Structure 1
């Protein structure tokens, strides 16, 4: 029988258990069951003065659902509640240990998440799609899709992972607007300007648009962060007009992590120039291939990436209840 508990924070031992479960699922499925933000929250904590207990995975906007079978961790779900006060849906990501699948663990996790989001799992309610809960399926794995469909969830968002080979690739020279140059990010100096441009560029985006200086500094502490691959486009006065933040994965795959330009520069070719500059950087540091994530319904962006040689590799989808 599945034993399910809710946590507003995980201690070090539970956090280690969850990270091991996520690693097992990724090794079996070939895709991480949760996004980067969940890993960041698992490794963060509130200030000691704000904590009831000194637990690590205890940050505002995060709740944790832990499922056990015979005392062993069998499943985990992370619930992002950061948009709840603004009336936005709660967003969940979950994983079931490979050896514990098809034993009702995923079903119990979804039921608990729906209860927390106050989504009644009745035929009448599902037909009306209350929109209170979003469930991510990374890689559109058959079991995950089947679980979502079993509850009548509707696909509401798709995120494509696109990629191309880089080794030996011929890439055009970036053509920058007049008076614009590209330089690397300066830690401790560029954070305010970067966050300002990011907000203007991604005001519409449910995750990226809300990045704060605190979020940025947190990512600066990650093993993969390298300011040399964080390229900023600046005008003659030093004002940041856009950026291309690149990432190199442990297997050597490069990533177009984020490309953003100030809306006032759109139509100048700055976005394409920044993208090319980042691709050339990743090629020159030895990345054999490169990938990126893009919203499936962002037709202009998909078209630009296709012209740059990218093809769709796989899909993440968000299902709504």
Structure 2
């Protein structure tokens, strides 16, 4: 099967891939492409490799290889069991033998394809969820002298990037976010600066401003419907970060509560979050906050 490989999609190709991904999401109940991969469909200068089948219009299969070798792949539900998936996996592995494939939802078809290609699970990303309750409306109390405030666009990007890079220095995707990545998210319809809550220490100044030591970034995606009320979106704990020099000081619980407090104030029925399965401290923190497992995404590699 012929595969087209390119480092730049035309606007027509990008829209075809978005439509393909939406058809797969409607069929499977889970989005096949994550946010960063969708952003890199259209972003000028994104250093991703795109593979499409068949050539020309009417895309039936698509894969994207990120610079770190992470891969996401989707095949049109109407064209499955026709070799598109295996052809894309083979072409990806030929280009990047170290490729690591995300299987969002770890669906049976993805498991079968991984088994045929001799791939094994190397990482899992848990989706955890819990209802938002009246208790979430109570104002969280931070350890003194810390205080919280909403993000200010055009002012706080550098401070956020500094604490994010420190908090996620071990993380293969989150820790390498750039100003362009932040600005791309600021341009999305779901972005709300009030939902990006910064924690600062007024006793420590950086360039005349209180130092940002932690943050809780929430997200409300209208396409992420709540399992408790399909007519409403679920709120999301998008990213939570604490600077390493502030960890172990009783900040994790109140920081989590800042986000759920904000989401509860929006009247949402449920909150979800994503956490690496091997991040034991974070999983324990979320379980203490009432979260339980709702789904899992698995990464496969040779």
| TM-score normalised by L of structure 2 | 0.92
Q: Judging changes above 3 Å, is the alpha-carbon distance between structure 1 residues 166 and 4 closer, same or farther for their aligned structure 2 residues?
A: same
Q: Look up the match of 1:127.
A: none
Hey, what does 1:66 align to over in structure 2? 52
Query: Closer, same or farther in 2 for the Cα pair 1:99/1:179, shift >3 Å?
Result: same
1:274 Cα deviation after fit: 1.2
CA RMSD in angstroms, aligned pairs only: 1.5
Measure the CA separation in 1 of the matches of 2:6 and 2:178.
26
Q: Would you say 1:228 and 2:194 are equivalent positions? A: yes
CA distance in 2, matches of 1:72, 1:3: 14
Distance 2:281 2:15 in 1: 41
Aligned counterpart in structure 2 of residue 94 of structure 1, from 62, 73, 87: 73
Q: What's the CA shift for 1:172?
A: 5.9
36, 44, 63: which one aligns with 1:77 = 63
1:4 shift after superposition: 1.6
Deviation at 1:271, TM superposition (A): 2.0
Aligned partner of residue 253 in structure 1, secondary structure: strand
1:15-51 deviation per Cα after TM superposition (whole angstroms, max 9, x unaligned): 11111100000000000011111111112113xxxxx
Relative contact order higher in (CA < 8 Å, ≥ 6 apart)? 2
Q: Does residue 165 of the first structure (1) align with residue 122 of the second (2)? A: no
SS of the aligned residue for 1:19 comes to: helix
SS in 2 for 1:218: helix
- Give me the whole-angstrom Cα distance separating, in 1, the residues matched to 2:113 and 2:143: 49
- Give the conservation status (yes or no) of the 8 Å contact 2:216–2:259: yes
* Per-residue Cα deviation, 1:192-242 (whole angstroms, up to 9, x for no partner): 111000011000000000011221112111111101111001111411010
CA distance in 1, matches of 2:4, 2:55: 12
1:168 shift after superposition: 3.6
- Equivalent residue number for residue 291 of structure 1: 272
SS of equivalent to 1:32: coil
Once the two structures are superposed, residues 251-274 of structure 1 have per-residue CA deviations (whole angstroms, 9 ceiling, x without a partner) of: 421000000011111111112111
Matches within 5 A, 1:1-321: 2-46=1-45, 59-60=46-47, 62-68=48-54, 72-80=58-66, 82-83=67-68, 90-117=69-96, 119=97, 132-170=98-136, 173-236=139-202, 237=205, 238-250=210-222, 251=225, 252-321=233-302
Q: Aligned partners of 2:133 and 2:38: how far apart in 1?
A: 30
Per-residue deviation at 1:309?
0.7
Unpaired runs of at least 5, structure 1: 47-58, 84-89, 120-131
Distance 1:10 1:200 in 2: 33
Structure 2, unmatched stretches of 5+, are 226-232
- CA spacing shift, 1:211–1:69, aligned 2, 3 Å: closer
Measured at CA, do residues 244 and 170 of structure 1 come closer, stay the same or move farther in structure 2, by a change above 3 Å? closer
- Counterpart CA distance in 1 for 2:6 and 2:136 is 51
Q: Which residue of 1 aligns with 2:229?
A: none
Secondary structure at the aligned position of 2:51 is classed as strand
C-alpha deviation, 1:151, in angstroms: 0.9
Is contact 1:242–1:271 with CA below 8 Å preserved after alignment?
no
CA distance in 2, matches of 1:167, 1:21: 37
Q: Is the 8 A contact 1:171 1:276 kept in 2?
A: no
Paired with 1:156 and 1:115, the residues of 2 have a C-alpha distance of 20
Aligned residues: 287
